[in-house]
Structure 1
Amino acid sequence: MEEGKSTVRAVERALDILLCFTTDNEWGMAEIAERVGLHKSTVHRMLATLENRGFVERDRVTDRYRLGIKIWELSAMLSRSDDPAVIWLPEMERLRDLLGETVSLYVRDGMERIRIQAVQSNQAVRRVAPVGARLPLYVGASSKVLNAYADPAELEAIMSADSWPASIDRNQYLQQLADIREAGYATSVEEREAGVAAVSAPIFDRTGKLVAALSVSGPASRLTMEKMREHAPLIMETAGRMGTMTL
């Protein structure tokens, strides 16, 4: 029994190491050890194993680690014909071409949201949205959409979590979510990032379940509140069309 526990713990530690690369693309061994809270000797052994299997690779000059080819091979398997992030890509590109701004797709994962797909704006001054980024659930248009249409029990868990800022007035926030449900979309101006604005709409599957948030973002100087209200019907229309493509 103890051996089974040890094996699971080893897997958890290896995954914690790999998850470091969701926030930065290169890490030193000591940095990883500090990040995951493990001894350097333990991290060294695990990195050696992950490197041997191709999940990480070490730069022999800088002695820093980055993701290996096996990660990319695994990620390539996500691009199946039934993967929504792939199925929805043409609609996202169409929306980008119509509005001229960056289009992103977010899903909720625990107490965070993850950008699972993005189409960058072609304009010189644009909002760059890296795929795979994990962001907080309490700020941003897409976060408010994911919360507004969440199951009541899920929303309660989110707002009761230690990571939820005490500075956010509960009643005001709940009213804001109710307003979003009535309007069908959410907006944000410099809530998470200075100089950036966004407008987001929910994507529901054929059963009416929320599956993702479709977001359009760009410089606040260009994506004004008036412009976001003007774009909202097209974004909601696109989100509705995307929802009909789900199985």
Structure 2
Amino acid sequence: MEGKKTVRAAERALDILLCFTRQPELSLTEIARMTELNKSTVYRLLATLEEKGFLARDAETDKYRLGFRIWELSAHLSRTDDPALLFLPEMERLRDKIEETVSLYVRDGLERIRVQAVESLQAIRRVAPVGARMPLSVGAAGKVLAAFAEPAVRAQILADPDWPENVDKSDYLRQLDQIRRDGYATSVEEREAGTSAVSVPIFGRNGNILAALAVSGPVGRLTLERMEEVVPHIIEAAGRMQKMLTN
């Protein structure tokens, strides 16, 4: 009987994790409704999942999102299961075509993390260490992740106490609107002197943004004109990556 209870608890915990395939952030009430469990049960399971690092809770909104223990587990997935590995050949193909560094970013709260990178083969190139954390307020990939996030997420980003003083919020919101219309973002020396970047979104099965695919390089080589030229190639690559997730 005790073993049966343990299995049931595991099923309920997994049901909670699966809720996040539909929305990136959820409240206790929303999770209880989606799993059809009472709130006290959900609360205990959420506390355990948070303690183990599978979920993270935003103290301001009291909403939960997937924690980075999920990414730790994904490091042991095969190439055919882990998007960071699954997308690698496509990223290498894009790098060879454009001849600049290609990176893959995901959002973690109010930051973005580079989870995969393929560096340019040129002598002067953009070095992109995997695992690096960066803000969402600046940079092409950060703006893409913010532009296609849920409105509540954008509100959290704007309310960030560490928001850079030199970034005007009204202008930032106008940029996000333009990015949603254009389907891509550009940046020139926004985060790092001498570097420019262009980025497009990659969407998951549920239509929510999964990651940002970015190309970066020296400003003298990756000019605004050059970025306009390569955007179709980046969008094509992102489209093929999305198909890998749905096939």
TM-score by length of 2: 0.68
CA–CA distance in 2 between the matches of 1:245 and 1:239? 10
Say which is worse superposed, 168-177 or 143-152, in terms of deviation. 168-177
For the Cα contact (< 8 Å) 1:203–1:213, is it kept in 2?
yes
Deviation (angstroms), 1:152: 0.1
Determine the structure 2 residue equivalent to 1:23. Answer: none
1:108 corresponds to which residue? 107
The aligned runs of 1:199-218 (5 Å cut-off) are 199-218=198-217
State the identity as a percent: 63
**Secondary structure of the equivalent of 1:168?**
coil
Tell me the secondary structure at the aligned position of residue 244 of structure 2: coil
Matched, 1:242 2:236: no
SS in 2 for 1:113: strand
Decide whether the 8 Å contact of 1:114 with 1:132 is kept in 2.
Answer: yes
Question: 1:142-177 CA distances to partner (integer Å, 9 max, x unpaired)?
Answer: 000001001000110111011112443222211110
Aligned residue number for residue 6 of structure 2: none
Counterpart contact for 1:202–1:239, Cα < 8 Å? yes
Contact preservation (8 Å) 2:147, 2:179: yes
- What is the alpha-carbon distance in structure 1 between the residues aligned to residue 243 and residue 98 of structure 2? 22
Distance 1:237 1:162, change over 3 A: same
Give the secondary structure class of the aligned counterpart of 1:233: helix
Q: Which residue of 2 aligns with 1:175?
A: 174
Segments of structure 2 that go 5 or more residues without pairing to the other structure are 1-46, 54-71
Structure 1 runs of 4+ aligned residues shifted over 6 Å read: none
Aligned pair in 2 of structure 1 residues 232, 167: CA closer, same or farther (>3 Å)? same
Deviations 1:177-219 (A, max 9, x none): 0111111100001111111010000001232110000000000
Q: Does the CA contact (< 8 Å) of 1:205 and 1:244 recur in 2? A: no
Could you say which residue in structure 1 is the equivalent of 2:218?
219
Asked if 1:92 is matched to 2:78, the reply is no
Any residues of structure 2 matched to 1:154-165 within 5 Å, and which?
A: 154-165=153-164
Counterpart residue identity of residue 123, structure 1 = Q
Which whole-Å CA distance do the structure 2 matches of 1:208 and 1:80 have between them?
Answer: 23
Residues matched between the structures, number = 179
| Structure whose alpha-carbon radius of gyration is higher | 1
Deviations 1:73-122 (A, max 9, x none): 97852555310001100100000000000000000001110000000100
DSSP 3-state at the match of 2:127: coil
Whether 2:126 is the aligned partner of 1:134: answer no
Q: Secondary structure at the match of 2:206?
A: coil
Please give the root-mean-square deviation of Cα atoms over the aligned residues, in Å: 2.1
Question: Could you tell me how far apart the structure 2 residues matched to 1:79 and 1:135 are?
Answer: 27
Post-superposition offset of 1:244: 1.5
Letter in 1 for 2:240: R
TM-score, reference length from structure 1: 0.68
Separation (CA, whole Å) in 2 of partners of 1:82 and 1:125: 33
How far apart, CA to CA, are the structure 2 residues paired with 1:116 and 1:79? 15
Quote the Cα distance in structure 2 between the aligned partners of 1:161 and 1:168.
12
Partner of 1:40: none
Q: In 2, Cα distance between the equivalents of 1:108 and 1:177?
A: 16
CA contact (8 A) 2:146 2:176 kept: yes
